[in-house]
């Protein structure tokens, strides 16, 4: 039940279609002070159509609006302010949540159309660092949110399993590698070899040429190069799968860059046929002068391919395979130019669906104000952070609730949840400074705070012998009203998070809802009054249901006890 939609309908019926419902909805505000009402509509935009000043329009609308859902309607300057019928909305919302449960807040906007989401996409033969966390958890949350508004999603882990860096790694392994050591601890050893290559290449620049030649051998199907590459890839996937399992994230496709090797010739040929491929200093490019962009490089002088070649091929493959309505790329801010070029090249090729491709950019994970770098060894390993968070959660459990059942499972849910929430509560466009201390705090605006609120409510329901019912009684209206208004805002919040591709809107909503409940809990004896106990527990159940669903949208589990 959406109070804003009810308000919109009331306004629309009084306006003779002077503004579309979608525009009315976008204009509705929440007054800064509760004494001014629950919702407000500014009449400035109507002044031109009505040829009256906004204050007169507001007064006229107040006289015409009549709804059982409003206790009163007032004109305050150029605003129409409404006070909602608290008892009616409270009853309707609690009944709706009891009936719909985790489906509460769902909408069918997407009509089961497909969205492909390119996320995570780590490079093989390198450890999974904190730098990869953002794409992984932001992308997964966006997928969950898109499903909540009615889309089908295809999560694609476009592995970085091709490119010149593998030629460099092969050179490093042959020069300084030890097979037994690599087999015993592949990712750690390969990382050290990769770092050493770049250190040595600063002195001996010829190493870079040798690395490029080895990658060319790999592209040409050299057996030795392919054997090394296959080994590096297999070991990496084993390592990654362990981390994805910890995060609770799965994928529909692991087709990485190498998957498109035998499909790129078609795209290069098509570019040539359509007269889009131009030779420039021995390389082949698509010019984008009309779009005020630099040319998009398709092939180097030596014939090797680039990211653009593979991403063009991947985009076409994904459209032909999944027939997507939208295609999202959850990749850092620094790749904005690349994805802008990608879309324009595809449109020049005649693929109008490329307009539905969107780069979901995000800020970097910084360490001491600087970007984390694999080649310089400035890495914080994600698995180590997750394990440390889990250990801290376990220590807290042993100190505060040593008799808790399933301690290890709860510690994992809380520790991993702390790391995910710390990322997702930030606007995705902002850089995030890595701080283990901040990430693992268990109070304030954190995942564990919301999880603990959920667990507390679960305990109340058990102690109170909650009996689920649709026959809702309404008590403590004034004390509960801030909670009810937050519950009503779920669907609107989900829509805003979807439209902005920004999970932080869900995270902030959960913090506000948990805070409002904890204020209520501090002021109302939920189990102290037998006559009204079940009515209060109905409210507890509703908040618990919404908190759990909100955490799920972020990719975080909600323990029943902590």
- Quick one: pLDDT at residue 554? 98
Predicted structure pTM score: 0.93
If you ran DSSP here, which 8-state letter would residue 112 be given?
T
Residue 340 CB: number of other CB atoms within 10 A?
A: 15
Q: Which three-class secondary structure state does DSSP give residue 188?
A: helix
DSSP string, 94-128: HHHHHHHGGGTT---TTTT-EEEEE---PBTTS--
Contacts of 259 (CB under 8 A, 6+ apart): none
pLDDT digits (tens, 9 = 90+) for 273-297: 999 999 988 899 999 999 999 999 9
If you ran DSSP here, which 8-state letter would residue 470 be given?
S
Distance CA 56, CA 51 (A): 10
- Quick one: pLDDT at residue 372? 65
Distance CA 162, CA 215 (A): 9
- CA 277 to chain centroid: 36
β-strand partners of 74: 81
* For residues 361-389, average pLDDT: 78
Question: Which pLDDT band holds residue 352 (cuts at 50, 70, 90)?
Answer: very high
Share of the chain above pLDDT 90, in %: 80
Cα maximum dimension of the chain:
85
- Asked if pLDDT for residue 374 goes beyond 70, the answer is no
Question: Which pLDDT band holds residue 378 (cuts at 50, 70, 90)?
Answer: low
For the chain, give the mean pLDDT.
Answer: 93
- Asked if pLDDT for residue 375 goes beyond 60, the answer is no
Question: Which pLDDT band holds residue 307 (cuts at 50, 70, 90)?
Answer: confident
Share of the chain above pLDDT 70, in %: 98
Tokens of 496: 């805003």
Tokens of 46: 């109507």
- Quick one: pLDDT at residue 489? 95
* For residues 516-525, average pLDDT: 96
If you ran DSSP here, which 8-state letter would residue 381 be given?
B
pLDDT digits (tens, 9 = 90+) for 429-457: 998 887 777 776 767 899 999 999 999 99
- Asked if pLDDT for residue 531 goes beyond 70, the answer is yes
Domains and CATH numbers, the chain: 3-84 (3.30.1360.70), 114-261+310-371 (3.40.50.620), 382-554 (1.10.730.10)
- Asked if pLDDT for residue 245 goes beyond 90, the answer is yes
């Amino acid at each position: 039940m959406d109070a804003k939609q009810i308000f919109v309908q009331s306004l629309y019926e009084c306006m003779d279609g002077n503004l579309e419902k979608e525009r009315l909805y976008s204009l509705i505000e929440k007054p800064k002070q509760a004494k001014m009402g629950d919702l407000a509509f500014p009449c400035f935009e109507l002044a031109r159509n009505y040829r009256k000043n906004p204050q007169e329009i507001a007064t006229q609308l107040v006289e015409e609006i009549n709804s059982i859902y409003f206790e009163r309607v007032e004109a305050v300057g150029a605003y129409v302010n409404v006070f909602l019928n608290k008892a009616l909305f409270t009853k309707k919302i609690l009944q709706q949540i009891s009936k719909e449960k985790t489906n509460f807040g769902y909408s069918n906007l997407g009509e089961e159309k497909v969205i492909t989401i390119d996320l995570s996409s780590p490079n093989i033969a390198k450890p999974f660092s904190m730098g990869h966390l953002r794409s992984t958890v932001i992308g997964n949350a966006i997928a969950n949110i898109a499903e909540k508004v009615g889309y089908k999603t295809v999560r694609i882990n476009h592995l970085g399993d091709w490119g010149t860096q593998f030629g460099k790694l092969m050179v490093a392994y042959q020069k300084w590698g030890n097979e037994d050591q690599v087999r015993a601890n592949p990712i750690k050893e390969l990382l050290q070899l990769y770092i050493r290559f770049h250190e040595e290449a600063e002195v001996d620049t010829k190493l870079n040429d040798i690395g490029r030649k080895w990658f060319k051998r790999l592209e040409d199907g050299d057996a030795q190069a392919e054997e090394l590459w296959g080994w590096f890839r297999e070991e990496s996937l084993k390592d990654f799968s362990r981390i994805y399992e910890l995060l609770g994230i799965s994928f529909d496709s692991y087709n990485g860059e190498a998957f498109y090797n035998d499909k790129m010739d078609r795209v290069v040929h098509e570019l040539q046929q359509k007269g889009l491929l131009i030779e420039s200093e021995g390389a082949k490019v698509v010019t984008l002068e009309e779009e005020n962009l630099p040319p998009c490089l398709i092939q180097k002088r030596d014939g090797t391919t680039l990211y653009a070649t593979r991403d063009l091929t991947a985009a076409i493959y994904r459209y032909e395979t999944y027939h997507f309505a939208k295609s999202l790329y959850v990749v850092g801010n620094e790749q904005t130019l690349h994805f802008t070029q990608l879309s324009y090249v595809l449109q020049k090729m005649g693929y109008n669906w490329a307009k539905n491709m969107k780069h979901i950019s995000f800020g970097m994970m910084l360490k001491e104000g600087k970007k984390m770098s694999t080649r310089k060894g400035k890495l914080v390993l994600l698995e180590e952070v997750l394990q440390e968070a889990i250990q801290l959660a376990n220590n807290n459990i042993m100190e505060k609730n040593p008799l808790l059942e399933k301690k290890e499972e709860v510690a994992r849910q809380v520790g991993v949840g702390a790391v995910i929430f710390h990322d997702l509560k930030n606007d995705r466009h902002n850089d995030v400074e890595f701080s283990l201390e901040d990430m693992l705090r268990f109070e304030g605006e954190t995942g564990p705070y919301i999880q603990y609120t959920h667990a507390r409510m679960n305990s109340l329901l058990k102690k109170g012998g909650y009996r689920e019912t649709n026959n809702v009684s309404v008590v403590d209206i004034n004390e509960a009203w801030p909670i009810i208004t937050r519950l009503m805002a779920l669907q609107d919040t989900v829509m805003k998070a979807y439209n902005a591709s920004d999970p932080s809107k869900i995270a902030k909503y959960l913090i506000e809802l948990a805070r409002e409940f904890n204020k209520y809990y501090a002021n109302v004896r939920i189990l102290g009054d037998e006559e009204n106990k079940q009515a209060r527990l109905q409210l507890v159940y509703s908040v618990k249901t919404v908190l759990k669903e909100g955490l799920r949208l972020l990719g975080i589990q909600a323990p029943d006890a902590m």
